[in-house]
Structure 1
Amino acid sequence: MIDPAYVQLMSRYNAWQNSQLSSTLNAMTADELMLDRGAFFGSILGTLNHLMWGDMLWMNRFDPALPAPVGGLDDSKTLHPTLAAWSAERFRMDGRLTLWASKLKSMDLHGDLTMFSRVLGQEVSKPMGECVVHFFNHQTHHRGQVHAMLTAAGYAAPVSDLFFLPKD
């Protein structure tokens, strides 16, 4: 389904997208970041926190040596109380993700991933390749929500087209 080159590309894309958000987010006040904008996770910071929570959850599933997030889905939007705290952890997470992707072998993407689903409350097994694709799709989905909230708030959201990802 996918290969390590895909995972490495998406890892680079993820880090690029997150770094591009920094200047816009840093220009916003704390009140603007925490304003409930009617999104599923409320605010821009709430959505970014949920995205971080999801990244931590999936990375722990892919590599159990990495820390799992504290709390459940309902707690995900309050993972980090400030943009500074979120930014520091985002930088660390993007580094962990890039390192994980750089070490992947084709065989790591085959077979099933067995995990406990907090949402379903039970153990499930899914094809590893599908889980990795979902992981990156989840990131893109929620960054799209952040993009829409930034635009609606009058801020210039960064370019998000994979096509424009700079070469290494």
Structure 2
Amino acid sequence: MIDKGYVLTIARYNAWQNNQIVDIVKAMDEDALWRDHKAFFGSIMHTLNHILWADTLWMSRFCSDVDLPDVPGSESTNYMATRGEWQAARFRLDGRIRIWGETLSNLDLAGEMTWYSGGMQRDFTQPVALCITHMFNHQTHHRGQVHAMLTASGQSAPTTDIVFMPEDA
């Protein structure tokens, strides 16, 4: 299904996308970041928090040195209280995702994994490769919502086309 090269490319893409968003949200005022846009999670910051929370959750399943988020899924939109906290946590996690990708082998992508879903209140077993693909797809899906909210706020939204990702991203 996927190989290590895919994971490395998408981990780079994730960091590139998040770095572009950081640059935009750093310049925005607080009201604009928390304004309800009637999107699935409401505001830009609520959506960014949800993405970070979900990435942390999945990475805690993939890596023993990543702790579970300290808030339940029902509070994912408030995972970080401030833009600065979110930015620092996002930077650290994106680095961890890239290191994790670099240490994977294609063999690590085979087989299944089992985890307990607090949201669904039951155990799940799925192919590891599918779970990794899901984590990256989830990021991209919700960053698309952030892109739309940034545009609606009059911001210049980031370039999202993976084919235009710089080599040094």
Q: TM-score, normalised by structure 2?
A: 0.97
Percent identical among aligned pairs is 48
State whether structure 2 residue 70 is matched by structure 1 residue 70.
yes
- For the residues of structure 2 that align with 1:118 and 1:5, how far apart are their CA atoms? 31
> 1:105-124 alignment to 2 at 5 Å?
105-124=105-124
Partner of 1:53: 53
Q: Is the 8 A contact 1:30 1:82 kept in 2?
A: no
Give structure 2 stretches of 5+ with no counterpart: none
Give structure 1 stretches of 5+ with no counterpart: none
- For the residues of structure 2 that align with 1:63 and 1:23, how far apart are their CA atoms? 28
Q: Which runs of 4+ in 1 moved over 6 A?
A: none
> 1:119-158 alignment to 2 at 5 Å?
119-158=119-158
Name the Cα RMSD after superposition. Answer: 0.8
- 1:132-155 alpha-carbon deviations (Å, 9 max, x no partner): 100000000010000000001111
- 1:28-64 alpha-carbon deviations (Å, 9 max, x no partner): 1111101111111111000000000000000001112
Query: What letter corresponds to residue 41 of structure 1 in structure 2?
Result: F
- For the residues of structure 1 that align with 2:93 and 2:23, how far apart are their CA atoms? 18
SS in 2 for 1:124: strand
Alpha-carbon distance, 1:89 to partner: 0.5
Alpha-carbon distance, 1:111 to partner: 0.5
Which stretch of structure 1 is more off in the superposition, 8-17 or 67-76? 67-76
- For the residues of structure 2 that align with 1:123 and 1:21, how far apart are their CA atoms? 34
- For the residues of structure 1 that align with 2:9 and 2:45, how far apart are their CA atoms? 26
Q: TM-score, normalised by structure 1?
A: 0.98
- For the residues of structure 2 that align with 1:71 and 1:90, how far apart are their CA atoms? 16
